[in-house]
Amino acid sequence: MNSAWQKFQTNVPLRRFVVLLLIMCCLFEVRAMMNTILLTFIFTYLIVHWIRLVQRYLPKISSKIIVSVTYILILLGLYFVITVYMPMLINQVTSMVQSLVEFYKSENLTGLMKDFKQLASSSEVMAQVKNGMKLMMHTVTSVGSVTFSVFMSLILSFFYTIELKEMKQFSSLFVKAGILKWLFEDLAFFGRKFTNTFGVVLEAQFFIAICNTVITLICLAIMGMPQLVALGLMVFIFSLVPVAGVIISLVPLSFVAYLVGGIRYVVYIFIMVLVIHAIEAYILNPKFMSSRTELPIFYTFLVLLLAEHFWGVWGLIVGVPIFIFFLDVLEIKPTANN
């Protein structure tokens, strides 16, 4: 028995495989808290990198001061969002929906579309109302759950980053433990891998989303498009989805463009999306992504489809980074020249 246990401890690949399965089982058990876990990691990762960036240019400033000032600014930003931005966003989304409804009513529907409209207005009215009520209740519940997750994640990331040095010192004690030293060494190994792959890809996609949103808003402002705040938020959220996000945002942007300027504006939107996609593919991705994180478009879409099926909306955002993490664990290194 002791001999088998010792062989298991010395067999590093088998040992790490077992530890990885253990981690996956633990995450499955706490899947109800996955929003909080992912948001805590994202906030902590961004704040830690922000601390390093500030200290690179201002090395004498304490990390505690940087964290305190940063979270004060975050709280002020949240206050501004709740009191100023949210009412503006609600008004713009309401106006956008009303415009789409007016567009639907004003169109001369013929043939099959007219029959569909009549069918929808008679036999399926109650079903549509029930589905709408369920969707509304689900949305309200989701907003409350996400708000709580964001609040808890901010608190956890604050306590982690405010005592960053103490956290590192205390966490290093586990690696020096006796009987379970190998377990904590493997956990540290996967922690480094996860941070160096998941974190890097997610951070890069975050900056790419910011660039896409800024470029899109400039183009929309030049075109004189309405509801820029709502459109900007929508483009930013879609841009967090690798590759497919820019294409997905094309549909609602085309609807709004048609309402404003007809087919001519829809063509402008198509050209704008193509240009932004080219900028993302040939400028932003090489700038923010290292070569080992690049994937063929087929694999990217396949991972997004599977991740959305298993994890919903979160899968669209974290599916590719998690896939890159497993490639790194398996020591598979995709490059642009492969």
| 173-199 tens-digit pLDDT | 887 766 778 888 888 888 888 887 777
Q: Give 288-308 as a DSSP string.
A: HS-GGG---HHHHHHHHHHHH
pTM: 0.68
pLDDT tens for 255-284 read: 777 777 778 888 888 888 888 877 776 777
Distance of alpha carbon 155 from the chain centroid = 20
Least Cα distance to 194 among 26, 20, 73 occurs for 20
Cβ neighbours around 26 below 10 Å, total: 9
- Overall average pLDDT of the 228-238 stretch: 77
- Which is more confident, 240 or 171? 171
Q: Where are the beta strands (DSSP E) in 130-275?
A: none
DSSP state of 32: G
- Categorize the per-residue pLDDT at 289 as very low, low, confident or very high, splitting at 50, 70 and 90: low
| Rounded CA separation 223/218 (Å) | 9
Query: Has residue 231 got a pLDDT over 80?
Result: no
